[in-house]
Amino acid sequence: MITGERIRHEIERFTGQLTGRTTPDRALVIFWFGSLWLLGLLCWGFFLNWGDFAFDFHDWMQEGARYNLLADAVRSGQIPLFISTQLASTNRFLSLSDVVLSPQIILLRWVEPAFFVLINTFILYTVGTAGVLLIRKRFNWSCLTTGLVMVLFSLNGHLAAHIAVGHSMWSSYFLLPFWMLLLFELLEDKATQSWTAKTAGFTFILFLQGGFHFVAWILMMMAIMMVFAWKHASRLAWTIAAVIGINAWRILPIHVEYSEWERFYTSGYDSIQHLLQSITTVQNPMDGWSGAIPARGIWEVNNYLGLLGFLFVLVFGMYGFWIRANGSRKAILGVMIGMTLLSMGRVYQPLFNLPISVFRAERISTRMVILPIVTGIFLAGIVFDEWVKRRKKKNVEVDLLMMGGMLFVLHDLINNLIIWRVERVRLAFDAYPVNIDAHLVTMTDTPYIQAIQTGFAVTALTVVILVGMRCRPWKKKTASIEGTCK
């Protein structure tokens, strides 16, 4: 017989397993995360119209040409050095900083570019989900905490807005949980000599996925971290050098192009209010342009988490982490503030004006605030989970309230995805038929070819050095650690 007491007992058992007060059943864990993963696939599939969209507006036009060139290269077995199209800013294909050169491009042999974008997004979203689950394992998070972090990380407005206007390479964003794992390893003083090699290898993979911007921001983040976590300064300096070295095959051709091309800095956020608005308010793509800067699209100031999502990051990720963290862990908050400051107004412009391609690639500094936001989401997960598990008194009402809060966050983010879906954003632009054909051509360009050759040599040398360091036995001052090539 089903009684009220029995129902309450089952609800307490269910909420206790989700919040981590009791060990969850394996079946519940699989169902919970499988459902969230599947929901994300459905959201991104709907967002991209299941791979049925036209490359006829904003940056989708140049993306279409790039993917057609890559398809030509894959089918002919040639290296894509030069591109012939009316939609590229240069004929030097490898000088385009954010092109996708990952192993997935082999799929272009069989599928059309739009469907490739869908498949590639699915692949990277799945890898990103696996990264979040690794962080869950690292900190022993509950199902509820992990689900909330997963939703905020993978469905936020920043990612939706950029992909919507044709920044398909932004799907490389999904790899950021692996940077978070590396960051926590360093700040908890658990980084060994292999940390430099792992970080360099991660950025190499990120660059292949078209994540040039994210690599540049990670470099900036490590540079700022040298100030706030000075005891790690030496390791960070070597890692910055290793990241640049292992990606030299891409950075040097980009530098050749940028040194010949006059670029103009746009701006960061107009004010703190403008930044907070980008996080808490749904931006309408029909508005087109943002603030007092006519060259800055509304998609460049969209970091939507919703009000509850923002409070989660603010209360647990900033305030909560500050009062609970100690030592090196507290340094990450200073790094987050530093990166946020660079995204404001014209603070970043002096760096942009330097003749360094990593800096000059970022004309619109509003974008880089996503890195401190993502960091805040994962820090909030750490503190929130500790708070939930510290609660001594079982209170099913509070558990249900937290689960309801997660549902509200999920509702807000899905609603934002619907507003920013590709087919709807297309209506905000003057879409028109355009020839996205692109072909491989042969040209004579000595500076460009020499930059590629030099870059490959530097990359190969960096890999040899990193492998050598990884395999060489070494000793720490406090403990003996045997270096092996496991």
Poorest-confidence range of 239-248, 277-286, 455-464?
Answer: 277-286
Higher pLDDT residue, 430 or 292?
430
Q: Which residues contact 369 (CB under 8 A, 6 or more apart)?
A: 269, 275, 303, 339, 340, 343
Rounded alpha-carbon distances, angstroms, from residue 252 to 261, 301, 360, 449? 14, 30, 13, 10
Q: Identify whether the C-beta of residue 435 lies closer than 8 Å to the C-beta of residue 86.
A: yes
pLDDT digits (tens, 9 = 90+) for 287-324: 766 554 445 789 999 999 999 999 999 999 999 998 88
pLDDT at 60: 96
Q: How do residues 389-399 score in pLDDT, each as one tens digit?
A: 887 667 788 88
The pLDDT confidence band at residue 480, using thresholds 50, 70 and 90, is very low
Q: With 50 as the cut, is the pLDDT of residue 347 above it?
A: yes
Work out the percent of the chain whose per-residue pLDDT is above 70.
Answer: 93
Least confident of 72-76, 80-84, 324-328, 423-427: 324-328
Q: Which residues of 333-361 are buried (b: 16+ CB within 10 A; e: fewer)?
A: bebbebbbebbbeeebeebbeeeebbbbb
pTM assigned to the model: 0.93
Predicted pLDDT at 485: 37
Q: What is the pLDDT of residue 14?
A: 82
pLDDT band at 482 (very low <50, low <70, confident <90, very high): very low
